[in-house]
Every structure is written in C-alpha cells, then in structure tokens.
Amino acid sequence: MLLRRLIALYVGLWLYGFSMAVMIRAALGLDPWDVFHQGVADHVPLSFGTIVAIVGATVLLAWIPLRQWPGLGTVSNVIVIGVSVDAGLWLLPELHALPVRIGAMAAAVLLNAVATVLYIGAGMGPGPRDGLMTGLVRRTGKPVWLIRTGIEATVLSVGWILGGSVGVGTVVYAFGIGPLIQLMIPYVDRYLPGFHEQDATVDADPEAAPMAA
C-alpha cells in the first residue's frame, strides 16, 4: 500500500507540473495561481518552475500561524512540480496553430485533473496552496467557497497586473477542473486512501476542488 501511494504521489506531482507546461504552451490563459507565477517570472531572471517552487515555499510559511503541519506530499509538491514544469517547457515546442493550441489547452486541463486525483489520493499531505485554504477555513470559520474565491481572486488580479496570461483557458480551467476531479475520484477511491482523509469541503464539493499546486 505504501509503495502504491508513493507511486501515485510522485507520478501525480510530475504530471501536474507537466500539465502546467502544456497549458503555458497553449497560450490561451492560465489558472489563477499560474497567472501569478507567470506574472512574477516576467519580472525576475528565474525560470517558471523556480518561481513555482519559491512561491510554494513562501506559502508554507503562512502555515505556521495557522498551525498546519506539512507532510511528505507537501514538501515533495514544492520540489517536484517546479522541476517538472521546467522540464516540460524545455521539452515542448512553442505552439502556433489555433486548433493545436485549443487541443493542448483541453489536454492540459484533463491531465491536471488526473494528476490532482493521484497526488491527493496518495494521502501524504496537501499542497502548500491547498493547505493554506483549508487552514484559513478552519481558523476563520468562513465557508470554503469564500476563502478559495478570495485567495484565487487575489493571486489572479496581482498576476494579471504583473502581465500573467488571462484568457479563455483561465475560464475553462476554473469551471472544468472541479467536475473532472469529481468524475475521476471513483476510479482511484478503492485503491488510494487520500479522499477518505480529506475534509468534506474537498471531496464532496466541486467548488472546493484543490487549487493549482
């Protein structure tokens, strides 16, 4: 069981980072956190993956006052996704034809959902951004949709101001990722324990589907 969970964790995290790279190459808009990552990356001499890792590590600092404890999956999330997205951007060429870019965008959202189900199903700790959301929900008593919307609206706005890519892909991701995750959970639920350990806010409500990374 432990080996299965470890495989699910690291395959999921690697696919998550790769899906981010595909979404970037599609150039039709990114999810809110990646809009922020891209906006920051446009202003500093660091790779996209390095920015993702630095932001993830910084968000972990916010766990301290929230009394959240990271797991193996949390620390691995910071490292593996950053390496994977940079590897994906190195491997994938720029895309130019609009039909190809649309196909890449759809594939990226689908792959992201598969990756999310795997790494959360492993049940070895939430990602830094997911933990921030659940920690704030627990400490403030506010509903998940309000906390999540507030976080994502903030990072999306700041990222857009910094020059991050907002477009149809942003909308497709926002409305598509939750239902896709819900659809896939039954396929891994019998093999992986993670969704049994999640708060009801995560596994029962599509609006509470995990945030990017």
Domain ranges of the chain: 2-208
What is the average per-residue pLDDT within 100-116? 96
The pLDDT assigned to 202 comes to 42
82, 146, 147, 150, 152 from 133: Cα distances, Å: 20, 10, 6, 10, 10
Tens-digit pLDDT profile for residues 28-60: 999 999 999 999 999 999 999 999 999 999 999
Confidence of residue 210 (pLDDT cuts 50, 70, 90): low
Nearest partner of 213 among 63, 47, 78, judged by Cα: 78
